Amino acid sequence: MLLMKPKRPVGITGYGAYVPRFRLPVTEVSRVWTDGEGGVPIKEKSVPGLDEDTATMSIEAARNALARAGIDPRLIRAVWVGSESHPYAVKPTSTIVAEAIGAVPTTQAADWEFACKAGTETLQAAFGLVGSHMADYALGIGMDAAQGRPGDALEYTAGAGGAAFIIGPAAESVAVLEGSLSYVTDTPDFWRRPYAHYPSHGQRFTGDPAYFHHITAAAEMILSEMGRQPSDYRFAVFHQPNLKFPQKVAKTLGFTPAQIETGLLVGLIGNTYAGSSMIGLTAILDIAEPGDRVLIVSFGSGAGSDAISFEVTDRIAHNRDKAPLTRHYIERRKEIDYATYVRYRGKLQTA
């Protein structure tokens, strides 16, 4: 059996998102680098302020998740942060987050990486930790202040933000885990060498055989293992490097545009990398109803996908209003120009 499911039923007891308020219209990127003649794959992307990074954004999302879970943070026995943009090369983001939310000192803390599926990796580990009774609660975060070389295709879509999830006993959960499955291969479509300031990518190679192969394989395998059809799900969310990729993979798998619409946020905030599919899940939970099934499939370059199936419980509306909804962060926006973006992201080297 390929499906991964702990013997102890577990689920999401609290969730929260965070998106910085600044927005760069991608027409600004086109204006600077193609004289406005280049195509624009999305409308705009979120940009961290001067005082924001993966650690500060993770703290905000974690506080939102904690508010919804309504538990003592000292009960959280693991704090895990998945990201491509940890602020320190040597010093964990996770300990900063754990300290800020009051989860220290008796908690396990670690940073995770696997490109854009680093966030869902933290969830799978949390399922195992809580499902084995080694802990009652674990916190998994997917967050990025995404990177892109000036003028590169990534700069048009690389946004910032993400989500945090507290995993706990199923009886306390707003969405219960039904099962998960991972599919990985050594497919080098995207990478960043040590000391390299910006990542490199394989251009169209990042679609096939990377993104489409892994997401499709993981989704088909979990559906087969669970004896499900796409029509059994009200919602689905796939990793969102742009608008076209998740729409194409949904159509290939047999999901309708209506099933992916709620979680498809890339057009408004950009590709939030490790937080991409996870923040889509928070938007879904903001409107989901008891009995709804949700399929989430992440993708991380290098390459791999995690497929996770949830069923929403009757606790979903219990603490929904205890923290800002994801759409509130999306609607809270301040437009900036390319010069301001360059200053905020430290792209102008002065020494």
- Write out the catalytic residue numbers: 84, 116, 239
Q: Percentage helix, strand, coil, to 5, in the chain?
A: 40, 25, 35
Q: Which of 296, 213, 275, 226 has the alpha carbon at shortest distance from 54?
A: 275
Per-residue burial over 178-208, b if 16 or more Cβ lie within 10 Å, else e, is bbbbbbbeebebbeeeeeeeebebeeeebbe
Q: What are the distances in angstroms from CA 316 to CA 15, 204, 327, 333? A: 11, 40, 17, 27
Distance (Å, whole) CA 33 – CA 38: 8
Contact partners, residue 150, CB within 8 Å, separation at least 6: 33, 342, 347
Distance (Å, whole) CA 96 – CA 345: 21
Distance (Å, whole) CA 288 – CA 116: 25
CB 139 within 8 A of CB 73: no
Residue type, position 295, single letter: L
Q: Which of 72, 67, 117, 119 has the alpha carbon at shortest distance from 94?
A: 119
Q: Which of 81, 174, 92 has the alpha carbon at shortest distance from 126?
A: 81
Q: What are the distances in angstroms from CA 313 to CA 97, 166, 167? A: 28, 15, 14
Q: What are the distances in angstroms from CA 86 to CA 64, 95, 168? A: 20, 12, 26
Distance (Å, whole) CA 129 – CA 29: 43
